[in-house]
Amino acid sequence: MNQEKSKIIKEYFPQARFSEPLSKHCTFRIGGPAEAFIEIDDLSEQNQENLVNLTKYLQKSKIPYIIIGGGSNVLFHDKGFKGTVIKITAKTLKFTKTNLEADAGAILQNILKEASKRGFYNLQPFIGIPGTLGGAIYGNAGANGLEIKDILKEAIIFNPRLSLIYKATPETLKFKYRHSNLKETKEIVLKATLNLSKAAKHKALAKKLSAKRTQTQPYGLSAGSFFKNPDPDPTKPKLKAGYLIDQCGLKGRQIGQAKISEKHANFIQNAGTLKNPATQKDVIRLADLAKKEVRRKFKIDLKEEVQIIPHKPKKSM
């Protein structure tokens, strides 16, 4: 990126950094440098306006860009990203009697913790899901019978293509299993309002789920569940991706420094060190092996839940 473009980016966001290692900004701890990197920790009206104007400039200048949240659901390229990475880390929480208004950069597990302190336990089925609220809405995150669509009241959405910020309802976002139409429109969640509940049944469930997570989910560097569970066939028992991979005997399988967890087969982990980490190539090769074996044994095609980011995207993501 030349000096003139760098200067213009800094005019919008003086905190912009260049050649920033992306391994520092994702839970996989994998990824080379971004040409330009901007962290937005305050979604004031001024910063929202700056974001609109910056993306207009990037599009006009044909500079690829991607907007991320906590980096829990992305796998960056080992050579980095030839363009601009915008990371939204604004995380203000505002509780009312029945709702939570939150910035998209709020960490989902921190939301659960703060809600529980106030007696709101209906979010507890999300225990263990990594990442931010914005990412959860983008992919309609869910667990234990609850999806984000079930508790979302409304969201403030940014459409970079139209340079428009607007209010969306769950119906607008057209949620499906691990999917919202944001994946097609490439729009970005800025803020959201969640419905809260103090019903006693949720508190008992919270304790049960906390114990279950300790027993079943591995610790370490990963992006959480790597694959979506297959679309259910109403004529057959519901199968989960982790079970399918486990039945192929792949728990503990390692390629390079990427490893399928021995505790949960739908977790691919960076088992390397700071000096010798897993690479995007390692993870993709291991994921491809899992897909190949599941297809051979079960005639089922697994689909990635994690977003795999190329080094040189053809257009903004």
Q: Which residue has the tokens 């950094």?
A: 17
Question: Is there a catalytic annotation at residue 178?
Answer: yes
Q: Which residue has the tokens 């897909």?
A: 291
C-alpha atoms less than 13 angstroms from C-alpha of 182 in its C-beta half-sphere: 28
Question: Is there a catalytic annotation at residue 305?
Answer: yes
The Cα 308–Cα 7 span in angstroms is 29
Is residue 286 within 8 Å of 279, Cβ to Cβ? no
Question: Is there a catalytic annotation at residue 296?
Answer: no
Is residue 301 within 8 Å of 48, Cβ to Cβ? no
Nearest to 121 by CA among 146, 139, 94: 146
Options 23, 222, 225, 261, the catalytic residue: 225
3-state secondary structure of 45: helix
Nearest to 163 by CA among 63, 58, 91: 58
> Which residues touch 228 (CB under 8 Å, ≥6 apart)?
177, 178, 241, 302, 303, 304, 305
Whole-number Cα distances in Å, 253 to 33, 259, 268: 29, 6, 10
Q: Which residue has the tokens 């701890």?
A: 29
Options 114, 154, 178, 304, the catalytic residue: 178
Options 72, 261, 305, 316, the catalytic residue: 305
The Cα 107–Cα 111 span in angstroms is 6
3-state secondary structure of 11: helix
Residues labelled as active-site residues: 178, 225, 305
